[in-house]
Amino acid sequence: MEYTIQKLAHLAGVSTRTLRYYDEVGILKPARINSSGYRIYSQKEVDRLQQILFYRALEVGIDEIKQLLLNPSYDELDALNDHYQKLLEKRAQIDLLIHNVQSTIAMKKGEKPMTNKEKFQGLKKQLIKENEQKYGKEIRKKYGDEKINRSNKQFANLSEEEFKQMNELGQQILEKLAIAMKTNNPQGELAQEVAKLHHQWLGYTWPSYSREAHAGLAQMYVSDERFTAYYDDAVETGATQFLCDAILYYTSK
């Protein structure tokens, strides 16, 4: 069975503009162009679109989808099994958040007690999942699965007070970084205070600390645009490089 672009868009619940974009970036080419100049899609393209939309539902970026689909070793059945496992994980996370909200509602109604640890359980797991999706590949490659798994476990086990302190310290780092940048001296007293605070902040999630690992993380901040955007957007352009320079000096002493 063949589909015009309008019929395929209607079938999949996407816009024709989306299908044209997928064609443009090279992840979903039509089977052929008919004599009237219309894109025609066969069953093969329908199946490919399903795979693309699975990846998009899992918030995988277009560039990564392209790398996966165009990889000569790409196997559709393996990909489906991978989708299945990730969806199970996603469902488990959503179920945990639903349970957390239900328990909170019950607590507010006076129907059942809820410990402070339980209040943040689902939220912390959501943060871990988001960090894994954004940065997991890079940090696991740099530090290894064992260290990252231990870090995630330590974060998940933070008490309510520790979780609050960590967030407050993170905000303090941003505020002091903005002030330190005005000195234009990453080796100065203010900048080194920021580096020390960053060291303390890492202690909430890092099972052990080393100057080498801290310096490596700082360099990753400036080498990866996603990390760079966090501090540059929160403070001002150049904040990430300034923080990196401050940390490198801090860890060299």
Does position 146 have pLDDT exceeding 80, yes or no?
Answer: no
Residues 6 or more apart whose Cβ sits within 8 Å of residue 14: 53
What share of the chain in percent tops pLDDT 70?
Answer: 82
**Nearest by Cα to 75 from 51, 46, 49, 45:** 51
What is the rounded distance in angstroms from the CA atom of residue 70 to the CA atom of residue 53?
16
What is the rounded distance in angstroms from the CA atom of residue 152 to the CA atom of residue 125?
9
**Least confident among 68-82, 94-108, 152-166, 190-204:** 94-108
What is the rounded distance in angstroms from the CA atom of residue 190 to the CA atom of residue 225?
25
The letter for the amino acid at 163 is F
pLDDT, average across residues 79-106: 73
**Average pLDDT of the chain, as a whole number:** 84
The span from the first CA to the last CA of the chain, in angstroms, equals 69
For position 119, what pLDDT does the model report? 55
For position 72, what pLDDT does the model report? 86
What is the rounded distance in angstroms from the CA atom of residue 230 to the CA atom of residue 205?
18
What is the rounded distance in angstroms from the CA atom of residue 206 to the CA atom of residue 192?
20
What is the rounded distance in angstroms from the CA atom of residue 132 to the CA atom of residue 129?
5
Residues 6 or more apart whose Cβ sits within 8 Å of residue 29: 23, 45
Cβ–Cβ < 8 Å for 199, 209: yes
**Nearest by Cα to 135 from 205, 234, 208:** 205
Please state the φ and ψ torsions of residue 40, each to the nearest 5 degrees: -120, 130
